[in-house]
Amino acid sequence: MKPDDSEKSALAQQLDQVFKRPSGRAEDEMREVSFKTGIAPHANGSVLCSFGNTQVICTAMVEDRIPGWMRQQKVAGGWLTAEYNMLPYSTLTRKDRPSSKGKQDGRNIEIQRLIGRSLRAVLDLKKLHEKTLWVDCDVLRADGGTRTASITGAWLAMRIAITDLLNRGKIEEDPILDHLAAISVGVYNDQCLLDLDYPEDRDATVDANVVMTGLGQFVEIQSSGEEATFSRTQMNELLDLAEKGTGELVALQKDNT
């Protein structure tokens, strides 16, 4: 073999060893994201939010009443609460409904609390005037990132519902303070990645979900090593990726409002 042929072969081997994501995306590249509004006509606001193959129906409905604890404690304003559920056909094998087990699913409870407190972080509840905004997130198809897609789509459904209230004169002032979006990041094969799909999420050594406002403020950071540790440098890189991803999501929200 000629020397130049040997060099070409070595270069080819090096190129083959370059890290590649299962999806073929770049490390800082998100899946295709789309919003289809008006998916549930009876809701005040509704969105089919898709992060790649992950699909979540997010709806917002308004009730002219507030929780009993608010009346008892004489808390002014309104309230927002969220529910999250994965439909039986959303995963590769059928997922039982919580009602069939006779108890709530702990994961569902944790995620719906995350959705609720994230949305309330960008909402002036006093401007809701004794109304409750119910947000429902139902996962049609799960391929990683269902909670982040739920938060991002739920904000848009809330925006549509609030705009409807304003247009009909049901409230006088806009209670929404800022945009809100969420994205997953993680360490997979020693690489920091943006927007993990299921194969990456399943095998990631570090998994994080980051919720941010349109102004770039953090609302929540959920991060843990999966029987592994991670460095401050990696954490900084993950947060930089999350900031990039949420910025792109907010831009897409603006295109749909």
Map 99-119 to HEC letters.
HHHCCCCHHHHHHHHHHHHHH
Per the domain annotation, does 176 fall within a domain?
yes
Q: Identify whether 231 is part of a domain.
A: yes
Cα 144 from Cα 85, distance rounded (Å): 14
Domain containing 224 equals 25-255
Model's pTM, two decimal places? 0.89
Asked whether residue 4 is assigned to any structural domain, the reply reads no
The answer as to whether 152 is a domain residue is: yes
Check which CATH number belongs to the domain holding 242 and give it. 3.30.230.70
pLDDT of residue 95: 79
Q: Quick one: which H or E segment has residue 15? A: helix 3-16
**Per-residue pLDDT in tens (0 to 9) along the chain, 257 residues:** 455 555 545 544 444 456 789 889 999 999 999 999 999 999 999 999 999 999 999 999 999 999 999 999 999 999 999 999 988 888 878 877 776 666 677 888 999 999 999 999 999 999 998 999 999 999 999 999 999 999 999 999 999 999 999 999 999 999 999 999 999 999 999 999 999 999 999 999 999 999 999 999 999 999 988 888 999 999 999 999 999 999 999 999 999 88
Residue 6: the pLDDT is: 55
Q: Is residue 145 part of a domain?
A: yes
Residue 87 lies in a domain: yes
- The answer to whether residue 13 is domain-embedded is no
How many independent structural domains does the chain possess? Answer: 1
Phi, psi at residue 47, to the nearest 5°?
A: -145, 135
Between CA 92 and CA 74 the distance in angstroms is 47
